[in-house]
Amino acid sequence: MSFGNNSNTLTYGNLTANGSFGNLASNIFSSAPSILDYLIVGGGGGGGGAASPSDGYASGSGGGGGGGVLRSFNTSSGDTSTPINASTAGVLTIVVGAGGALSTNGGNSSITGSGISYSVSGGNTGGQGNSTGDSSTVTGGSSGSPSIHGGSNGGGGAFTRTLCSGTPPNATAGGQFSVVVGGYKGGGGGGAGANASGQSGGAGLSSSITGSALAYGGGGKAYSGSFGTTTANGYGTGGRGSWSDNEIAMNSYSGNGNCQQLNFGVVQYNSPSAAYAGGVYLRWSGNVPSSNVGGTLSTVGGDNLLSYTTAGTYTLIF
């Protein structure tokens, strides 16, 4: 097919030209995809700051909430929107939200273009542990919007010390010192797919735009060395909270055979951590974009998949 000799207005997508085009074949323009399915994940919330409990208490900061998740390709999830028409959207601006630093919410992720604007918020930071380990103030962060799921209160962290008595080396349990009072650990952060439970982070939202089911936007745990309970990768996952106690009743024997109480101060068992960045994924059939700097292009099931998983702002042109 050719456009022939004409002086009409030629329009393709957002490109409009006037004048005489001569004999032009229709393939002078690459064929942009008409439909772009997308998955947008907000940055995760950071863990709370390190707890500093008073003598005799345990305390912990809450885990960060997972970032929100928005999809265009799964109508059963409740978080869907209309796929993007690439032929009319023009230049797309892609923003990948950073994971929150300690005591900081995660950044938003978004896709904007002509007539479209989709934004997903990062998760909220977890609560700061207080000096007495009151569980009502040591909650985990909630996930971002959409798909908001909250964090939970901290769980019991009570502990006791075995105290020394007798004459060394024949020591027995018990003694004249008071039992150390227990406190609370922080709560896990809420995930995009489920609420947190105790110190465990809430589950992320399962999506398969990459060709296999992965969980995005999981909530951070409050005191474990690992992150959310079901995350297959870290995108949009909340940061870990901490757990610490004050070692008021560390006991040792003095030279005269008596038991001596020593105070070694706060011992932090797990340090809080920052959260993971979000991600933006686009999937379509058709030609590849003319400019996709910062994105990773791959093929999944015959479709093109473009992924942005490093925090920053990018430009996409079809």
Q: Give the model's pLDDT for residue 28.
A: 46
- What distance lies between CA 52 and its chain's CA centroid? 25
Q: Give the model's pLDDT for residue 12.
A: 45
Q: Is the peptide bond prior to 169 cis by the omega test (within 30 degrees of 0)?
A: yes
Helix (H) or strand (E) holding 250: strand 250-253
- Written as one string, the DSSP assignment of 47-84 is PPPPP-PPTT-EE-PPPPPPPPEEESS-TTSS-B-PPB
Q: Give the model's pLDDT for residue 304.
A: 95
Residue length of the chain: 318
Q: How far apart are CA 152 and CA 45, in angstroms?
A: 14
Could you state, in order of their start, the residue ranges of all structural domains in the chain? 1-30, 33-318
**In tens digits, what is the pLDDT along the chain, a chain of 318 residues?**
334 444 444 444 445 555 555 554 444 445 668 899 999 999 999 988 877 787 777 778 889 999 999 999 876 666 778 899 988 899 999 999 999 999 999 999 999 999 999 999 999 999 887 777 665 567 889 999 998 898 877 665 555 555 555 555 555 544 444 445 556 678 889 999 999 988 888 999 988 999 988 899 999 988 754 444 444 457 999 998 887 777 655 556 555 656 666 666 777 777 888 999 999 999 999 889 999 999 999 999 999 999 999 999 999 998
Q: How far apart are CA 72 and CA 81, in angstroms?
A: 5
Q: Give the model's pLDDT for residue 151.
A: 84
Q: Taking a C-beta distance cutoff of 8 angstroms, is the pair 245, 238 a contact?
A: no
Longest Cα separation, the chain: 110
Facing residues of 95 across strands?
110, 313
- Written as one string, the DSSP assignment of 91-149 is SEEEEEPPPP-TT-PPPPEEEEETTEEEEEPPPPPPPPP-TT--GGG-PPPPP-SSS--
End-to-end CA distance of the chain: give it in Å, rounded.
22
